Structure 1
Amino acid sequence: MQVFYATEFVLPLPPGHRFPMEKYRLLRDALAADAAYRLCQAEPASDGELALAHTPAYVEAVARGTLPAAVQREIGFPWSPAMVERARRSVGATVQAARAALLQGEGVAANIAGGTHHASADQGAGFCVFNDAAVAARLLQAEWARRGPSARARPLRVAIIDLDVHQGNGTARIFRDDPTVFTLSLHAQRNYPFRKEAGDLDVGLPDGCGDEAYLEALEQALQELERRFEPDLAIYLAGADPHEGDRLGRLKLSDDGMEARDRRVFEWLWQRRVPVAMAMAGGYGRDIATTVRVQRRSFEVALATWRRWQAARGRH
């Protein structure tokens, strides 16, 4: 299974910064121990690719480091060339995962990072500079349309299934008037962002929501998604932050509950033969090893589904 990473590109964060940058390297090292994963360094997204979901003025301001101080504070990272390079490659990793899943026929591929769903067309926020899912959706739609008349018969339809604990407000804003992309967000209602942006399907959950209630809400959300939309590609934000050990989550899913969440999403997609690119999104465990453990199990579920795709195609 192809897994894309940009762990060599890290931010020079000040001491005590609450963003757990080290989790990406730890997850990559854990996956590297299993030969079933083919680890590939992500290529950076170009200005033109980023402009599919972001305004050219915003892309240029990020690249040049000329964002207003208030906007930079909203992102949560100090500006540096490393911030720009990492942001580009985080988008590139989801783009490459989506290409592998859909265009190369892999069925499933993943980004070790990504899930930067708070970034909107002209502004970043909440540790999100560029919106990887939005850029990937728009770019794959364009590349799909170039495959020939049959592909151009109707636009590629993309479902963004966002199970990070925070609402995907930036993604919802970008696709607010786009019927070819369906945005589903299952999140803690009282968590950041405190001003939500209406997506196609938003499910706000109460503080302390545990496994049973969460999985029931997810089941109902997937039923509603099926009723309203028929995706050709999915981008799955498998945030680790609904876990009970997360500092910023407010929900209380156990290890088994998190795995059951992932299994339900991948099973739903497999039954409909919808290729999926997985991005890891948030994870702020009180113990960073907890976040990595939860994410590692998400990859195990993804790998099992990838193997089903290969078996269906006679691959080994």
Structure 2
Amino acid sequence: MRVFYTDRFVLPLPVGHRFPMGKYRLLRDRLERELPEIRLTPAPRATDGELALVHTPAYIQAISDGSVDPRVMREIGFPWSEAMAERARHSVGATIAAARTALAEGVAANIAGGTHHSYADKGGGFCVFNDAAVATRLMQAEHARVDRRPLRVAIIDLDVHQGNGTAHVFRGDDTVFTLSLHGAKNFPFRKEAGSLDAELPDGCGDDEYLQALERALGELDARFEPQFAIYLAGADPHEGDRLGRLKLTFDGLEARDRRVFDWAWQRRLPMAFAMAGGYGHELENTVQVQLNTFRVAAGYSMRWQNRPR
């Protein structure tokens, strides 16, 4: 299974900043040690043209050259720097590469990504450019070269925070289905209506979460027939997350991942996935949740490689 990474770009964040930048390198180190079947590849850089499939030229330029309004950067939550701008581009590039690979090989991943709070003309909540949205639009454009029928994409967002930017980008687009399973009272406090939003109460545990996921996947099936999926496998529903407010265990989150990968495999649906959020009181817990996701995914990747041609 091919996995794309961007952790060589380390943001110069102030001391005490709450974004856990170190989780990406910790995860890559553990993947190298514990899952040798994974092929780790540096992420390519998303171009202006690729970003412009979703984002406005003015916003792309402002992020690139540092002329971005300070109020926009405050909403994003990072100080502007060249490293920040380059990391944002490469994070999108990683999801693009994972999407292309998944369409050819079944399953692929971005160690970072899941930047679902980014709109066309602004970012927010540690999200600069919207990687899943850009990858979706680019895969649709590339598909259109060989098939006049539009590529139908499901974005399954299981970060604990609603994917407001993604929902806004695809509002009214019947070729993309956005499913978000998230905390009802958590950030963002002004949510956007997606194709399907399932809101969960604070303190939601494994059983209640998995039942809600089952209902949501059933409704997706009833309303939409995707040809490709992008999965945002947030670690922040974990009971040890500082920003999550839910109570899922390691086992509950692994069951979540297995259900999503089962759903995709049963339909022979290629799927790219990204890590999205994770802000554990203990960083090792966030990394463990994510490692478990990769372990599950690697098993499904083997199924794809061994299936009859």
TM-score by length of structure 2 reads 0.99
Q: Hey, what's the Cα distance between the residues in 1 that align with 2:80 and 2:275?
A: 23
Q: Hey, what's the Cα distance between the residues in 2 that align with 1:268 and 1:35?
A: 25
1:162 aligned residue (157, 166, 178): 157
Q: Which residue does 1:280 correspond to in 2? A: 275
Q: Which residue does 2:287 correspond to in 1? A: 292
Q: Does 1:117 align with 2:116?
A: yes
1:230 partner amino acid:
E
1:172 partner amino acid:
A
Q: Which residue does 1:24 correspond to in 2? A: 24
What is the CA deviation profile of residues 225-277 of structure 1, one whole-angstrom value per residue up to 9, with x for unaligned ones? 00000111100000000000100000000010000000000000100011000
Q: Does 1:70 align with 2:71?
A: yes
Q: Which residue does 2:55 correspond to in 1? A: 54
1:130 partner amino acid:
F
Q: Which residue does 2:126 correspond to in 1? A: 127
Q: Give secondary structure in 2 for the equivalent of 1:109.
A: strand
Q: Which residue does 1:201 correspond to in 2? A: 196
1:68 partner amino acid:
D
Q: Does 1:4 align with 2:7?
A: no
Q: Hey, what's the Cα distance between the residues in 1 that align with 2:231 and 2:10?
A: 24
Q: Does 1:82 align with 2:87?
A: no
1:144 partner amino acid:
H
Q: Hey, what's the Cα distance between the residues in 2 that align with 1:202 and 1:123?
A: 22
1:77 partner amino acid:
F
Q: Which residue does 1:251 correspond to in 2? A: 246
Q: Give secondary structure in 1 for the equivalent of 2:302.
A: helix
Q: Which residue does 1:218 correspond to in 2? A: 213
1:297 partner amino acid:
N
1:100 partner amino acid:
T
Q: Give secondary structure in 1 for the equivalent of 2:55.
A: coil
TM-fit CA distance, 1:178: 1.1
Q: Hey, what's the Cα distance between the residues in 2 that align with 1:192 and 1:204?
A: 12
Q: Hey, what's the Cα distance between the residues in 2 that align with 1:135 and 1:219?
A: 27
Q: Which residue does 2:230 correspond to in 1? A: 235
Q: Hey, what's the Cα distance between the residues in 1 that align with 2:69 and 2:250?
A: 41
2:249 partner amino acid:
S
2:102 partner amino acid:
A
- Residues 166 and 121 (structure 1), Cα distance of their counterparts in 2 relative to 1, 3 Å cut: same
- Residues 313 and 109 (structure 1), Cα distance of their counterparts in 2 relative to 1, 3 Å cut: farther
Q: Hey, what's the Cα distance between the residues in 2 that align with 1:54 and 1:227?
A: 31
Q: Hey, what's the Cα distance between the residues in 2 that align with 1:117 and 1:184?
A: 12
TM-fit CA distance, 1:145: 1.3
TM-fit CA distance, 1:313: 4.0
1:174 partner amino acid:
V
TM-fit CA distance, 1:68: 1.1
Q: Give secondary structure in 2 for the equivalent of 1:26.
A: helix
Percent of matched pairs sharing the same residue: 70
1:35 partner amino acid:
P
2:256 partner amino acid:
R
Q: Hey, what's the Cα distance between the residues in 1 that align with 2:307 and 2:94?
A: 26
Following superposition, which runs of at least 4 residues in structure 1 exceed 2 angstroms of deviation?
A: none
Q: Hey, what's the Cα distance between the residues in 1 that align with 2:153 and 2:67?
A: 33
1:240 partner amino acid:
A
Q: Hey, what's the Cα distance between the residues in 2 that align with 1:10 and 1:128?
A: 15
Q: Which residue does 1:42 correspond to in 2? A: 43
Paired residues, number: 308
Q: Give secondary structure in 2 for the equivalent of 1:218.
A: helix
TM-fit CA distance, 1:27: 0.3
Q: Hey, what's the Cα distance between the residues in 2 that align with 1:30 and 1:313?
A: 32
